[in-house]
């Protein structure tokens, strides 16, 4: 029997991913929900789940240590990893945006300083628009940067917009919509076609069902 190793992004997407897997009828994920272990095999032995930081999901999958993974599109855009992305799962929907305090001069007004956890996305976006930027990479609390004068604006992930609002920032531009994606290692897709195909089909059905319920 072919076992698939699935890397799951810890944090924002974790609960949604496990729920989707349970709804797909492929496996029982109750253990995974309650345990703090970082690697868990499901009862049937068909799946092994590993829980890693979102930015590490593409790394495990591209190396083929994990056959598949679930991670946000934002992380994939930032990582540049060469992966298959057969499914958009519709969990953890959010937007990658440019946000700034009111009255901040916009694009086209000289050099902009951009604080972000997503230096590649920020550089690619402003680069494509011909806007010169100084990208300042931070690892968290990015919203502080414009308030304290470290940057003119930020590029960040926004779910509800509450944090932005509370810190006096508003969305200027939307770079991309993001939600959880199933990613697959290129070799696993060819070498374990049945197991991977079954996973894609089951998750696709579960995603469609979820969409119907939420509509």
Partner 1 sequence: MSEPLSKIPNGLRYYSGHEARLRRVIEETAMSVFEGWSYEEVITPTLDYYSLFERGMGPSEAHHAFRFTDTDGRLLALRPDVTSGIARVTATLFANRPRPLRLCYAAPVFRQQGQSTIEWRRESTQIGCELVGQNSAASDIEVLAIACEVLRRLHLDRGYVITLNDVEVFNGVAESLGFDSGARDQLRQLEDGRNVADVEAFLTSRASVEDVRAISQLIRLSGKLETLDSARGLIKNARSSAALDRLENLWRIIESLALTDHFEIDLGDVSRLDYYTGLTFKIYIEGAGARVGSGGRYDNLTANFGKSEPAVGFVLDLDALAGLLLAGNNGAMLTAQPERKAQCVVDNDLSALFREAIERRARGERVVIGSGEVTP
Residue 57's Cα: distance from chain center in Å? 9
Burial of 140 (0-12, 13-18, 19+ CB in 10 A): exposed
Please tell me whether residue 82 binds partner 1 under the rule CB under 8 A: yes
Please state the closest distance from residue 82 (CB atom) to partner 1, in A.
Answer: 4
DSSP for residue 103: T
- Enter the tokens of residue 194: 């049945």
Please calculate the CA angle 158-203-68 and round it to the nearest 5 degrees. Answer: 80
* Total binding residues toward partner 1, as defined by CB under 8 A: 26
Q: Which stretch binds partner 1 (CB under 8 A): 5-13, 28-36, 74-82, 114-122?
A: 74-82
Selected from 8, 26, 49, 62, the binder of partner 1 by CB under 8 A is: 62
Of 113-152, which residues contact partner 1 (CB under 8 A)? none
The answer to whether the CB of 4 falls within 8 A of the CB of 67 is yes
Of 166-185, which residues contact partner 1 (CB under 8 A)? 181, 184-185
Please tell me whether residue 161 binds partner 1 under the rule CB under 8 A: no
Where does this chain bind partner 1 (CB under 8 A)? 58-59, 62-65, 79-88, 181, 184-187, 189-191, 193, 200
């Amino acid at each position: 029997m072919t076992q698939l190793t699935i890397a799951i992004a810890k944090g924002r997407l974790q609960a949604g991913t496990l729920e989707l897997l349970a709804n797909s009828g492929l496996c029982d994920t109750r253990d995974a929900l309650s345990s703090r272990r970082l690697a868990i095999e499901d009862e049937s032995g068909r799946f092994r789940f590993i829980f890693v930081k979102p930015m590490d999901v593409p790394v495990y999958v591209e190396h083929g240590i994990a056959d598949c993974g679930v991670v946000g599109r934002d992380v994939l855009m930032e990582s540049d990893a060469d992966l298959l992305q057969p499914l958009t799962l519709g969990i953890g929907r959010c937007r990658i945006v440019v946000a700034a305090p009111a009255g901040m001069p916009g694009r086209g007004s000289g050099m902009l300083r951009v604080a972000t956890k997503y230096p590649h996305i920020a550089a690619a976006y402003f680069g494509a628009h011909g806007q010169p930027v100084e990208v300042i990479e931070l690892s968290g609390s990015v919203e502080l940067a414009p308030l304290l004068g470290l940057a003119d604006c930020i590029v960040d992930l926004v779910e509800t917009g509450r944090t932005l609002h509370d810190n006096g920032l508003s969305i200027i531009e939307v770079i991309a919509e993001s939600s959880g994606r199933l990613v697959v290692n290129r070799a696993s897709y060819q070498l374990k076609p049945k197991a991977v195909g079954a996973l894609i089909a089951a998750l696709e059905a579960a995603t469609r069902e979820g969409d119907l319920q939420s509509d």
